[in-house]
Chains A and B, each alone.
Chain A
């Protein structure tokens, strides 16, 4: 089988984590305290009172262990804009946020639309990536929506999926061809849903706040009409696809209906759309509140949270989008779209959804780990004896103010200034320690 995730070689770890509460709905664990023994990168024992002489021990009493998180939507800005992020810094930020695998989007300079560019990135990942990293390739050459990329060759060279993210595939006929061709590659299309004729010149959600601030609005239908179109194409062709960063209640309704009809689609939602609304734009700071799709109304947010809880939305994806500070320190309309989110994703969702009782922790973990892994055919992280260690240890009671410095090279964080609860203490990705704040006990 073709390898689709790549990382630098790391030492397979051996350690004993004692007394953490284990949460993994896939393994039937709902907060049971247990010891977990990892030997040479493999979880060898889960249970009470494990004794392993000579193995480094962590006292994790009061902490929570979950399967490691998987992010199917990250912008690593490499090649072309390494000042804002590169494979090393981006994967370190991912590890600090509890992620054990990420997929990077291909809207780089140059676009990842040819085997040489893809191979270069895979080489970088083998050199720098601290967590396993997959690279999506473009659906169309230059993401220009005219000519399909050589998808079979890209798949053969290790592409993880295909996306023109940052832009929609505007022409329905071309999307249909790409979808048909994905029978050959066996890889998923990940679609940015936007009808440009409805969103031209827009900066924020079209609604009460855009009416008041005067910023050109991006109406909810700018997203949902494309969702409706594409699920129909998927149904017609009988082939699944993945929908990026769903933000509008109308889109959720389309996805729910399509799933009831048996269309094999998966969909993601970002932490900022789950936790924030258009009200966050009032401060007119593009570093924290300008992104595509935009933050929407409170009613949209409520629909997204409900859809996350009931599984209509399968995945949480950060859409981590680094930008240089001089680009974001511009008037709102001049600044580019995007916020970073790898380091704050879990804490934001924990603070805004789990702590207030809107969505159970086990469901959030499923949507941040197994959900995205299954959507893209990646290994599903699990707390299970015999599995490769892909796990994260959390201090759920710990609160921190979100502020620079970040592990990411960029600072445009949507949650800057908020105090968020839930800190990542240890990340073990593919058997190796990728992030560690806990001290060993002797």
Chain B
């Protein structure tokens, strides 16, 4: 510690000034574009517009509690995020394990798998909207070809299937991301632990459970964390696919916030909702990090 202190004081004023000068642009941008708006949005979340001007108070937050649309949109967001995450993770992990081993044509599969992720979400939305069209779409067309009755399969038009449809699209598009991160994680694992496991005579399952999985944990954490944050703020595909319909069945919180801010021009309420979402995302991320890190330490 004292050593460090000395080296700090050894920095002369000019060096310090120079350092400050160097970080100043970044700091200014951060202040202007992130920190100031963040604090400003706190103030607008505390204001409501009435016929007589702006009123201060917690009206926006109390309205949240009694707003059935907000609750439903929140519930949809969490169902969407949880379901998509489970599928993306399990399929992504399976694919990563498969393509990490020496199978034929794995370079081709690896490249092919990444395509959905490279498409803009809007394009994905439009393409799937066409494919899911009950009358002209490729999906029902194929099902009809193999002799299934598609009369009740109206996908995005059905209150029961709509959420499932948008989740399926997300899984299609973002499983490759999970796959990519996990594959990178797998390839970073050294050979030695596997050799040791082999010598100890562990089964394939034991090797996976006690060698691969613990060593893959950092990659798992990154994949899950990034996907969760993305899923909780999902907007584009759903906006294109269903616009939140039918009858609010696929409205997520981002769509509702967007509508409130830019369609109804109620920035205060939109800001209040954004803060609740931010808080929840933070809580979930913290839980993830704690959970995966302590487990890692105990292994």
Q: Do A and B come from one complex?
A: no
